[in-house]
Amino acid sequence: MSDTPDSAVQTVRTYIEQHRAAFLDDLAEWLRIPSVSAQPAHAPDVRRSAEWLAAKLAETGFPVAEVWETGDGAGAPAVFAEWPSGDPAAPTVLVYGHHDVQPAAREDGWNTDPFDPVVLGNRLYARGAADDKGQVFFHTLGVRAHLALTGRTAPAVTLKLLIEGEEESGSTHFRELVERHRTRLAADAVIVSDTGMWSESTPTVCTGMRGVADCEITLYGPDQDLHSGAFGGAVPNPATAAARLVAALHDEDERVTIPGFYDDVAELTDRERELIAELPFDEASWLATAKSYATLGETGYTTLERVWARPTAEVNGIGGGYQGPGGKTIVPASAHLKLSFRLVADQDPDKIEAAVRDWVAARVPAGIRHEIVFGAPTRPCLTPLGHPALQAVARSMSTAFDGAKIRFTREGGSGPAADLRDVLGAPVLFLGISVPSDGWHAPNEKVELDLLLKGVEATAHLWSDLATALPAGPPTASPAAQSAAALR
- Which CATH number is 320's domain given? 3.30.70.360
What are the Cα distances from residue 4, in Å, to 132, 154, 273, 401, 464?
A: 28, 21, 29, 12, 11
- Say what the pLDDT of residue 415 is: 84
H runs (alpha helix) in 401-475:
417-424, 449-469
Say if CB 365 and CB 236 are below 8 A apart: yes
Question: Within a domain: residue 202?
Answer: yes
- Which CATH number is 141's domain given? 3.40.630.10
- Say what the pLDDT of residue 487 is: 27
Q: Find the angle CA(314)-CA(255)-CA(306) to the nearest 5 degrees.
A: 70
Taking only the tens place, the pLDDT of each residue in 3-18 is 789 999 999 999 999 9
Phi, psi (5° rounding) for residue 201? -95, -5
20 and 123 fall within a common domain: yes
Q: Strands 381-382 and 204-209: what pairing?
A: antiparallel
Q: Strands 92-98 and 189-192: what pairing?
A: parallel
Per-state percent for the chain, helix, strand, coil, to nearest 5: 40, 20, 40
- On average, the pLDDT of the chain sits at 94
Phi, psi (5° rounding) for residue 296? -155, 135
Question: Within a domain: residue 287?
Answer: no
- Say what the pLDDT of residue 438 is: 96
The answer for residues whose C-beta is within 8 angstroms of residue 310's C-beta and 6 or more apart is 265, 297, 298, 301, 344
- Percentage of the chain beyond pLDDT 90 is 92
217 and 359 fall within a common domain: yes
Determine the residue type at 436.
P
Segment 284-311 mean pLDDT: 95
230 and 217 fall within a common domain: yes
- Say what the pLDDT of residue 1 is: 60
Q: At what angle do helices 479-487 and 417-424 cross, to 10 degrees?
A: 90
Assign 486 a pLDDT band (cuts: 50, 70, 90).
very low
Q: Which of 9-13, 87-91, 386-390, 471-475 has the lowest mean pLDDT?
A: 471-475
The answer for residues whose C-beta is within 8 angstroms of residue 269's C-beta and 6 or more apart is none
H runs (alpha helix) in 91-223:
133-150, 174-180, 182-185
Phi, psi (5° rounding) for residue 383? -105, 125
Give the helix/strand (H/E) hosting 327: none
pLDDT beyond 70 at 166: yes
331 and 416 fall within a common domain: no
Which is more confidently placed, 215 or 413?
215
Segment 427-454 mean pLDDT: 97
Phi, psi (5° rounding) for residue 137? -70, -25
- Say what the pLDDT of residue 474 is: 67
pLDDT beyond 80 at 484: no
Q: How many domains does the chain have?
A: 2
Say if CB 79 and CB 87 are below 8 A apart: no
Which of 98, 85, 46 is CA-nearest to residue 419? 98
Say if CB 200 and CB 132 are below 8 A apart: no
Instruction: Choose the final residue of a domain: 354, 374, 394.
Output: 374
Say if CB 434 and CB 447 are below 8 A apart: yes
Query: Could you tell me if residue 170 is left (phi over 0), alpha (psi between -120 and 50 degrees) or otherwise beta?
Result: left
Taking only the tens place, the pLDDT of each residue in 39-78 is 999 999 999 999 999 999 999 999 999 999 999 989 999 9
Strands ordered across the beta sheet of 204-209: 381-382, 204-209, 407-411
Taking only the tens place, the pLDDT of each residue in 399-439 is 999 999 999 999 998 888 999 999 999 999 999 999 999 99
Segment 219-239 mean pLDDT: 97
Segment 180-200 mean pLDDT: 97
Assign 358 a pLDDT band (cuts: 50, 70, 90).
very high
Which of 281, 77, 105 is CA-nearest to residue 167? 77
Instruction: Choose the final residue of a domain: 374, 394, 412.
Output: 374
- Say what the pLDDT of residue 473 is: 67
318 and 228 fall within a common domain: yes
362 and 410 fall within a common domain: no
pLDDT beyond 90 at 482: no
- Say what the pLDDT of residue 475 is: 72
Say if CB 311 and CB 211 are below 8 A apart: no
Which of 86, 87, 85, 91 is CA-nearest to residue 471? 91
pLDDT beyond 60 at 483: no
Segment 160-187 mean pLDDT: 96
325 and 446 fall within a common domain: no
Taking only the tens place, the pLDDT of each residue in 250-292 is 999 999 999 999 999 999 999 999 999 999 999 999 999 889 9
Residue span of the structural domain in which 467 resides: 6-209+380-487
Segment 199-206 mean pLDDT: 96
- Say what the pLDDT of residue 242 is: 98
